[in-house]
Structure 1
Amino acid sequence: MVFRGSITRLASAKPFKLPLVISDEISHALSTKSQAVVSLESTIITHGLPFPQNLEMAQEVEHTIRKNGAIPATCAFLNGKPHIGLSSSQLTSLAESKHANKVSRRDVGYVMANGQNGGTTIASTMILSSMAGIKVFATGGLGGVHRDGQFTMDVSADLTELGRTPVTVVCAGPKSILDIGLTLEYLETQGVFVGTYSKDSKSVDIPGFYAKESGFKSPYVFSTYAEAANIIHNQNNVMNLQSGSILCIPPSEKTALPSEMISKIILEANEEAKTSGISGKELTPFLLGRIAKVTEGKSVKSNIELVLNNARAATEIAKELLNIEKDEQPVSFQPTSNIMKSTSTHSSNRKRDNPTLHNPKKEVPDIVNTLIIGSIALDSISKISEPLKLNDSNPGSTTSSLGGVAYNVSNACNLGLQSPSCETGNITTSRLITILSDDLAGKAIIEQLLERNIDITGILTSSQDVGNSAQYTSIHRGNGDLVVACADMSIVEHESFTAHILKQIERSQPKQIVIDCNLSPECTSSIFGYLRDNNLKCKVIIEPTSGPKSKRIGQIHSSGLQTFPNSTISLITPTIAELHQIHESFGNRGLFDDYDNWFPLLDSLGVDSTFRSKLEISKENVIKDGLKLGYLQQAFQILPYIPNILLKLGSKGVLSLTLSTSIDDYKSLPTTSKYSPSFIVTTSSGRIMDDSQKRLGISIQYFPIPTESKNIEIENVTGAGDSFLGYLVSRLSASNSQLDEGTFLDSEIGSVEQEWFKWESIYKAQVAAGESIKCMESISEELKNI
């Protein structure tokens, strides 16, 4: 999303405009003061470490900030545009870049004018942070006055920036290669507050980056993060001093290197630099490289640990500062920032206000039962008529149609709502929420939607630089099996889409939300944050989309991945391969190391040796395969976070795994329904819930392929999973009206009718998948007749 900021620094100064590309997650947090934000520089990515270590470090720092309760705002220049907050793909692209510039204040105009990529230094990160309203910034070490700087005038631009930009830099002190004494003198002249964190002493050395001691006393000492936040508040909010602060966090005993050793290496390296004529901006990389070589990489490892340590401290300080600001009224003479959202919607329906970031205009609610959020695309599906020949042209046929996971699910849902099994006296509706570019493909998609009388009011059509409208191209064998496909869905990761989604949720007040994993983890996290902050109780269903993209579920912000009964996600519908990727992403995130919440809950579900023995002696092939391939064990571990999993087994059917708060009710559940599962297996020794005497547990239900879907002629498998989910969602929408007990995604069995409704829904959703497999279109029109 592009924000144009009108920033006034002095009463006599003319306002200037600069396009800041701020992620929606960050802009929402800043405007609502719902969460602290911590800025990060990017020269450590572009110039500090080689790929992939730089990417791993950047991801770990961002994760550290999130884990400790704030939002990371990595700053960088991408194609000449200043970005605050990078998506996963942007972070990777920046880390891989071999030609990124090092951007300080002097370089900003040049980089923008030439559309270049650049890593931000401390100075330029401070500039961007200040414009966006971010007040705390974490980095490694501070730039300063180089040794012999009184003769060479080699002084970092970071110091002058600190004298004129009100952003607090949390660091490990000036880099050891500098003249720390002269650096402190220069900072004093610039009026920059310098303080060092210490619990034990009122008089400590300012740290020397790698070393805890520098030989120079810190001008000030603070003993708590709350004290540091109070200093910042009084300096910049109360007194409106337009200067920054430096808060130094000494390295831990484990991380710090001996100061004597570092000093000796630096002295020798400086002499070598003089002899070799190395100076200016080449000097710092040379000295740091020499230190890394002599310490055999220990300095690099120490550097990374310092950044992580500083990020943790900065997060706590930013949180404390936000708490102070929430309790204080803003002073009247603070600088103003009239940052406006740049949006584009359909002009054919209604004129929309261009809302300000800080005072969004509420829309009149337009109640919709289900929102389906994600991608819409132009699909081109080719079918090879002869044996496939790689690296050659193959005769065949090609059909074009609308596609994309969210569109397919939405289409299947709408058709399902017309089916006899979803008939209800109440109106149940769904709406597609997606984004298009104002290009040829986007216009063609809108035209086709209008021809089909499909609601387009949830679609954002943007003339901004959002990329191409999504397109999907696939090649199939004669029997319909997929050979290869290319999915260009990056448009749904654009920042402007998140704000549009949140506006649509506010407008629609849905009971169900379906999300496809083409959305970025940051976007999904913002959706979850909005639901939480506005206390919207709706069921969230995630379609994993593909193996690689299913990993994004494990990358959602930790507040959206809480354990039951605080789960945000109600249901996922993965294949075996997707379940494996989700499980792996949860493991990498450390979600299975949560011994305070996850482990006690898993332990209380009755997945014990008795239950495992029960599974191991089962004669059911699906159970045997599940244990052998590991998908049962993986599902059990995920259920505490996502209490409903419908595992798609391809030609073998569907396995339903549910975290139940009334597991004993399955013993008396009649199975005379013609849609009943082939078998039901439950745990039997789960914890009894204190308030209701109900027992916690896991239910496993198996639904083989329906008789009417067997031995069908396969034309196209592309839309099978989308048809399954779309029809299932239509049944969920109907259950809001047809069942007094609510949907079958609730953890407790409310009645026999509720569970039978679930069985019928899964059975008919499989029939829907079979109908779509039989036709070349991704979604069959026959769904409305099921």
Structure 2
Amino acid sequence: MLVTRQLVRLNHVKQVGATSSRMFSVSRSSAVTISEEVKQALEDKQKPVVSLESTIITHGLPYPENLSMARRVESVIRENGAIPATCAFIKGQPLVGLDESQLEHLAHTTSPKPNKVSRRDIGYTMSTKQNGGTTIASTMILSEMAGIKVFATGGLGGVHRDGQNTLDVSADLTELGRTPVSVVCAGPKSILDIGLTLEYLETQGVFVGTYNDDGRENIQVPGFYTRDSGFQSPYSFSSFEQAASIIHNQNNIMGLKSGQIFCIPPSRETALPSELMQRVIAAANEEAIKLGIQGKELTPFLLSKIAQETKGQSVHSNIELVLNNARSASQIAKELLSLETNRASSQFQPSTNIKKRKMDEGVKKVDEKKQDTTSVSDIPTPSVVNTIVVGSLALDSICKISSNVIMNDSNPGTISSSVGGVGFNVAKACSLALKSPSCSNGTSRLVSIVSNDMAGHTIIGQLKKLGIDTSGILVDTTSGCSTAQYTSTHANNGDLIIACADMKIAEYDGLAQHVLSEIKRGSPRQIVVDCNVSSSTLSTIFDYVRESNLECNVIVEPTSSPKSKRISLCHSRNLRPFPNNSVSLITPTVGELDAIHSALAERELFDDYDHWFPLLDSLGIDSTFREKLSISKHPVLKNGLELGYLQQAFSVLPYIPNILLKLGEQGVLSMSISTNVEDYKSIPTTSVYSPEFTIVTSTGRSYTADNGSQQKMGLVIQYFPIPPENGNITIENVTGAGDSFLGYLMARMSTANTHLVEGTWLTSEVGSVEREWFKWESIHKAQLASGKSLQSLAAISEDIATIE
């Protein structure tokens, strides 16, 4: 009891002034930015919301494991019928519910390192505009402000060992005594004094209950890694309905302003032996004392030592219990919402009849735990295809103002709706091109995702009317996202004024497994992927192509400057220099190339002096070559040097050895790595499709590849101006011009796979004069396809099929 009194005195000191500060709480929620998805769920009350902390992202795991973990937890919550709301501070702004780009930003930021934000750190983090990972305490605060009542985490903070003397007590405990948010966890962390932690929580009036998942009589509080801690749980609960009832009665009925702790024991498969953990923790604490490690440095030190001594078993256990807690929290949140809205809990079983119900004539049958890849296209389709296009599929609305634009007012004009999305546009252009006289014997398939909503069913119906293979389209019922939509407004000359894109469903990590199954089914020769999809989906594609025996080129359409950075967020094993590159070709604009270059530089990939620099040096980009470029009067080269896009391309090429840079009205600049640049001297330029110029570096240097072979390296730059046919056209719509260019190129690559012995021109060697000429012709006619769509009201012109 002496210990308890000491801790009570400490608690009294910490809470001085807390009452007076609450009088200003009326408008505090306006300071928190709540994502539209979370806000909608809280308002509609159709799906529960579960909040998540973010210190596991900023301080728990290294990149990219932290990002993968964050996505997995969010995915588990969605699979169990709830909406995840990860809380964090980005540039000082408190956020509840992060989108994909925010998650990536938080996970990837290391300089400066994000702040670890508890209650005391909130004001400082906001005023200094820092990034911050939220602890249990600050996540509870943000959750209460947003109106979220259930929060899933890993382990609970508490009283450190010898806490009666050091007074080292986590702010999580005092927060639980004054903030009505329920925390679902695996018990106090094993490194703590669990007995003192339970006493402190009792003093705070905090309910502590442990899930009786196997009918035991004497229930102990779990010890984070272990199912038992040696300390009796104050209460137990045998169902998630009972847990929800406790929350409902304590907070909703009685109005008590304190939180609850619901402890979920780790599964028997992932739990570690209690004896082992006691021995390891005791040794780690003894070493910390000898080294004088204490305060905020103590916990990371102890966890690191535990991971070392258990040979990584503790890390695996940690990850699995977090996922287990997320599942349990989702079920508790569903039952709580049921009680609050007087609805039967069965209404909150997400898609329980999905296995039995056909989705829109069977487009895809989706189980909440498993996705079936049954094909449902109305037209017979082959399993194997030349080209798979992975990307966004959206319902597009295009507005064209008929007179001068009047801002902040209604403008007369025309509005048309159609199926769109970068993935669809590329796939449609490819399909049309395969019908043209210049292409033959190719097949393609779009792999994408829509939601089981009105927009999704409209899109599927339209695709079937167009005769497009829908067997690669997944109808999703688990992500909580709506079907993607894009709305753009254009001036009367076709120039884009503003656009709004809701493409969140394309970022759903559950798409990755669907894409993987479609690649295995299709065995394509080339895969086109747009950067609307998440970096984890990109990594999944890169991993499979690299590890399988599939002879396949991966082509990336950057989509936009912000989204193009997702290439750099892939796992490091997918960002290796030529000839071990994962991406064969990118088709960026100048702005997108700049973003890709900056992202790769931020990841320090241009500091690789073992692989990147020797390869760059072997390309012959020396002072003589730079001087040759600088004295050129050609506007493309002059602008390229002044604006820096040539230098940026040279740096990126070792990682992506083919770049087709779209220069708008100036045409296309092709840059690529060649292992036999001398052969370009003997290629005749009498073709009507030949580039305006070809520049090569050739220093006679050799490059030793990872396989030990000696390769003569060089850089090839070729310029293709706008075709005369595109010179005097009336521009109606710029939306699908770039997609038409890439789609046509993919159709030509399908043709090359069939008719050219050497295959496509994406390899580093000049296989023959015929193949090089074929490349020139392909780029020229891809520009014609782009011009056709520029003249069309639709994003992709049907006239692409007429190109000879």
Category of TM-score, reference length = shorter chain: 0.5 to 0.7
Paired position in structure 2 for 1:602 = 616
Paired position in structure 1 for 2:604 = 590
Paired position in structure 2 for 1:655 = 669
Following superposition of structure 1 onto structure 2, how do residues 717-756 of structure 1 map, counting pairs within 5 Å? 717-756=734-773
- Give the TM-score of the pair, scaled to structure 2: 0.65
Paired position in structure 1 for 2:660 = 646
1:698 aligned to 2:712? no
* Cα drift, residue 89 of structure 1: 4.9
Following superposition of structure 1 onto structure 2, how do residues 314-329 of structure 1 map, counting pairs within 5 Å? 317=312
**Which of 789, 793, 802 is residue 772 of structure 1 equivalent to?**
789
Following superposition of structure 1 onto structure 2, how do residues 367-378 of structure 1 map, counting pairs within 5 Å? 367-378=384-395
User: Which deviates the most, 758-767 or 613-622?
Assistant: 613-622
1:122 aligned to 2:150? no
Classify 1:89/1:595 alpha carbon distance in 2 versus 1 (closer, same or farther; 3 Å). same
Paired position in structure 2 for 1:231 = none
Are 1:720 and 1:769, in contact at CA under 8 Å, matched by a contact in 2?
A: yes
**Which of 455, 464, 480 is residue 441 of structure 1 equivalent to?**
455
User: Which deviates the most, 82-91 or 767-776?
Assistant: 82-91
Are 2:392 and 2:484, in contact at CA under 8 Å, matched by a contact in 1?
A: yes
Distance 1:697 1:430 in 2: 33
SS at match of 1:410: helix
Following superposition of structure 1 onto structure 2, how do residues 58-77 of structure 1 map, counting pairs within 5 Å? 58=57, 62-64=61-63, 66=65, 75=73
Paired position in structure 2 for 1:680 = 694
Following superposition of structure 1 onto structure 2, how do residues 93-492 of structure 1 map, counting pairs within 5 Å? 116=149, 118=151, 120-122=153-155, 144-146=194-196, 149=199, 168=225, 245=277, 317=312, 348=361, 366-423=383-440, 427-492=441-506
SS at match of 2:423: helix
**Which of 575, 580, 593 is residue 589 of structure 2 equivalent to?**
575
Classify 1:81/1:617 alpha carbon distance in 2 versus 1 (closer, same or farther; 3 Å). same
* Cα drift, residue 594 of structure 1: 2.0
Paired position in structure 1 for 2:516 = 502
Classify 1:506/1:116 alpha carbon distance in 2 versus 1 (closer, same or farther; 3 Å). farther
Note the residue ranges of structure 2 that are not aligned, 5 or more in a row: 1-49, 87-97, 108-116, 123-132, 158-185, 212-218, 233-266, 318-351
Paired position in structure 1 for 2:632 = 618
Are 2:397 and 2:418, in contact at CA under 8 Å, matched by a contact in 1?
A: yes
Distance 1:569 1:397 in 2: 40
Q: Deviations over 1:594-614 (max 9, x none)?
A: 222222222222122122112
* Cα drift, residue 733 of structure 1: 0.8
Distance 1:431 1:243 in 2: 56
Distance 1:102 1:681 in 2: 56
Paired position in structure 2 for 1:514 = 528
Are 2:366 and 2:477, in contact at CA under 8 Å, matched by a contact in 1?
A: no
Are 1:604 and 1:697, in contact at CA under 8 Å, matched by a contact in 2?
A: yes
* Cα drift, residue 537 of structure 1: 2.8
Are 2:222 and 2:229, in contact at CA under 8 Å, matched by a contact in 1?
A: no
User: Which deviates the most, 159-168 or 473-482?
Assistant: 159-168
How much identity, in percent, do the aligned residues show?
45
* Cα drift, residue 743 of structure 1: 0.7
Classify 1:318/1:592 alpha carbon distance in 2 versus 1 (closer, same or farther; 3 Å). farther
Distance 2:641 2:543 in 1: 36
Are 1:567 and 1:642, in contact at CA under 8 Å, matched by a contact in 2?
A: yes
Distance 1:516 1:151 in 2: 51
Amino acid at match of 1:122: G
**Which of 709, 714, 720 is residue 726 of structure 2 equivalent to?**
709
Amino acid at match of 2:63: T
* Cα drift, residue 366 of structure 1: 1.3
Q: Deviations over 1:362-409 (max 9, x none)?
A: 999811111101111111111111111111001111121111101100
* Cα drift, residue 93 of structure 1: 11
Amino acid at match of 1:317: G
Distance 1:91 1:311 in 2: 28
* Cα drift, residue 42 of structure 1: 8.8
Classify 1:448/1:689 alpha carbon distance in 2 versus 1 (closer, same or farther; 3 Å). same
Are 1:341 and 1:357, in contact at CA under 8 Å, matched by a contact in 2?
A: no
Amino acid at match of 2:485: Q
Paired position in structure 2 for 1:526 = 540
Distance 2:85 2:104 in 1: 15
Paired position in structure 2 for 1:9 = none
* Cα drift, residue 535 of structure 1: 3.4
* Cα drift, residue 683 of structure 1: 1.5
SS at match of 2:778: helix
* Cα drift, residue 306 of structure 1: 5.9
* Cα drift, residue 71 of structure 1: 6.2
Q: Deviations over 1:280-309 (max 9, x none)?
A: xxxxxxxxxxxxxxxxxxx5xx58986996
Distance 2:270 2:512 in 1: 34
- Give the TM-score of the pair, scaled to structure 1: 0.66
Amino acid at match of 2:57: A
Are 1:140 and 1:310, in contact at CA under 8 Å, matched by a contact in 2?
A: no
Classify 1:362/1:341 alpha carbon distance in 2 versus 1 (closer, same or farther; 3 Å). farther
Amino acid at match of 1:606: G
User: Which deviates the most, 658-667 or 687-696?
Assistant: 687-696
Alignment length, in residue pairs? 602
* Cα drift, residue 142 of structure 1: 5.1
Note the residue ranges of structure 1 that are not aligned, 5 or more in a row: 1-40, 46-53, 125-135, 170-185, 191-234, 263-298, 323-339
* Cα drift, residue 342 of structure 1: 7.2
Distance 1:163 1:760 in 2: 74
Paired position in structure 1 for 2:82 = 81
Are 1:405 and 1:516, in contact at CA under 8 Å, matched by a contact in 2?
A: yes
Distance 1:138 1:361 in 2: 45
